[in-house]
Chains A and B, each alone.
Chain A
Amino acid sequence: MSAPATWKSKYVIEPRDARTQSAGVEPGYAQTEWRWPSQPLQRRPHTLSELTGPQDVLKRLAPVRGDLAGQGAKRAIGQLIHLRTQVVDEDGAPVAGAAVEIWHANAAGKYTHRNDSHDAPLDPNFYGAARMTADADGRIELRTIKPGAYPTGGAERWWRPPHVHFSVWGRVWLSRLVTQMFFPGEPLNDSDGVLNAIRDPQARVRCIARLLPQTEGPENALVYEYRLVVRGSRATPALP
């Protein structure tokens, strides 16, 4: 081993805030008790290893379909929507070129996935998975259809509200974000075990997209705007 590094990061990750992040084990969501560690999580110093990260992830993962709704005879069934999303860090700085994976259920609440046993029809014109690169301003726009709600099965009789899954790469290894986006005004939002695992009501509101005025988009689609905030901010310069 060499002497301790003198490297100092220009970018820092601060501890998660328990009010705005799930605690891990969630009552009423049985799988969390089988999978979330029982021991307290460890703290570690942040070094070059944690404060660097992959650049241009889509050089490793192939881009997939920027349009999930399709056209003409191949149009997916459902309400046409455009999702305008911006990836920013805690400073509000756009993450230029951020890689983003998006997946969601079809209009009937069914995923094109062999593990989905929900008794709802598949839509041959809807696949439901995209992988995109944000522009220089951290923005992506996805044309798709609004997903349906679906039951999770099990004793709780819990239905998931319409939601869209996001997987996002921020600037560094510790900035990785996997989350779900919700739609405004959905009655199932109030009882959803995933959304409500976020304790702070304001933090939950930020997980719900905003419907833009109908004049904002194409005539045939509703436009939702959403901000994804990945972890990390510029280090405060040390005082002389």
Chain B
Amino acid sequence: MKRFVPTGEMTLGPFFPREFGQGANDLTAFEGRPAKGEPLEITGRVVQADGSPLDNVVLEIWQADANGIFRDPADPRYAQADPNFFGWGRAATDAQGIYTFRTIRPGAYPGRAPHVNFLILYSGLMRQLQTVMFFEKASDPVLDAVEPAALRERLIAKSEGAARYRFDIRLRGEGETPFFDD
């Protein structure tokens, strides 16, 4: 039974401790043990309305492991989850607006194509922004929910060689990334 209203979200502000953004962008190992699967680099640039890059944007990701299992007991296949894949990470952009994650390629699972959830926090963003990165055009209920359909390609990362994907994020303006409200 609902009793409380969610607390109002507010901006991260300009003074998020810089070291809080560091040290959690490599998901390819957990507690020193390597995760199963294909290691990947996901990198991109975060820009605002005038196209200028943003420094110290905090990005968080959440994804399934190589077999498409989430490290959460709510996943029916949790017992088979890779114990060495944490599934969550955080990166912060540098002065050129570039972020980088090292992770493993998420597996598909019934109902969803492989994807990585992104959450963006920054000064001047009064609420978190959510978007999703896909590896290729695919049938997926979240990708297919994006309207108009021409925008869907903006959620598909550009392959830059076998183990590297580029996913740029434009908060506002021409070529704006589609974001989700939930």
List residues of A whose CB falls within 8 A of some B CB.
1-5, 7, 9-11, 13, 15-17, 20-24, 26, 29, 31-39, 41-55, 57, 59-62, 88-92, 101, 103, 105, 111, 113-116, 128-129, 131, 165, 167, 172-174, 176-180, 194-195, 197-198, 203-204, 206-207, 227-231, 233
CB contacts (< 8 Å) of A45 on chain B: these are: 141-142, 145
Q: How far is the CA of A42 from the CA of B110 in the complex (A)?
A: 23
A229 to chain B, nearest CB (A): 4
Chain B 61-97, CB-CB to A under 8 Å as 1, else 0, gives 0111000001111111000000000111110000000
Complex alpha-carbon distance, A177 and B121, angstroms: 10
With A173-B62, A194-B10: A61-B172 Cβ-Cβ less than 8 Å: no
Instruction: Determine whether the beta carbon of B15 is less than 8 Å from that of A179.
Output: no
B-side interface size class: 35 or more
Do the beta carbons of B182 and A44 come within 8 Å of each other?
yes
> Which of B2, B13, B16, B142 has the largest number of chain A CB atoms within 10 A?
B13
Which residues of B have CB within 8 Å of A105? 15
* B145 and A42 within 8 A (CB): yes
Q: Which residues of A contact B113 (CB under 8 A)?
A: 1
Closest chain B CB from A220 CB (angstroms): 27
The smallest C-beta distance from A103 to any residue of chain B, in angstroms, reads: 5
Taking a contact as CB atoms under 8 Å apart, the answer to whether A1 and B145 are in contact is no
Using Cβ atoms and an 8 Å threshold, which residues of chain A touch B16? 103, 165
13 contacts between A and B (CB under 8 A): A1-B140, A2-B109, A4-B110, A5-B112, A9-B74, A21-B9, A52-B72, A60-B90, A90-B5, A177-B7, A194-B10, A204-B8, A227-B4
- Is A37 within 8 A of B180, CB to CB? no
Chain B interface residues toward A at CB < 8 A: 1-20, 23-24, 30-31, 48-50, 54, 56, 60, 62-64, 70-76, 86-90, 108-113, 115, 117, 119, 121-130, 138-142, 145-147, 171-173, 176-182
Contact B20 A129, beta carbon cutoff 8 Å:
yes
Q: Are A90's CB and B128's CB within 8 A? A: no
B5–A229 CB distance below 8 A: yes
Question: What chain A residues lie within 8 Å of B8 (beta carbons)?
Answer: 20-22, 179, 197-198, 203-204, 206-207
Q: Is the CB of A35 within 8 A of B171?
A: yes
Q: A32-B126, A42-B179, A61-B23 are in contact. Are A5 and B72 (CB under 8 A)?
A: no
Across the interface, do B62 and A35 meet the contact criterion of CB distance under 8 Å? no
Q: Are A229 and B6 in contact (CB under 8 A)?
A: yes
Assess whether B142 is in contact with A44, with CB atoms less than 8 Å apart: yes
> How many Å from the CB of A172 to the closest CB on chain B?
8
Q: How far is the CB of A60 from chain B (nearest CB, A)?
A: 5
Would A39 and B178 be within 8 Å (CB), given that A5-B111, A10-B74, A45-B142 are in contact? Answer: yes
Least Cβ–Cβ distance between B141 and chain A, in angstroms: 5
Partner of B141, one of A35, A47, A92, A103: A47
Residue pair B10, A179 in contact (C-beta under 8 Å): yes
20 further A-B contacts with Cβ under 8 Å, apart from A48-B74, A90-B4, are A1-B140, A5-B112, A22-B126, A35-B49, A35-B122, A36-B126, A37-B172, A38-B49, A41-B181, A44-B141, A44-B142, A44-B182, A52-B70, A53-B72, A60-B24, A89-B4, A105-B15, A165-B12, A177-B7, A195-B10
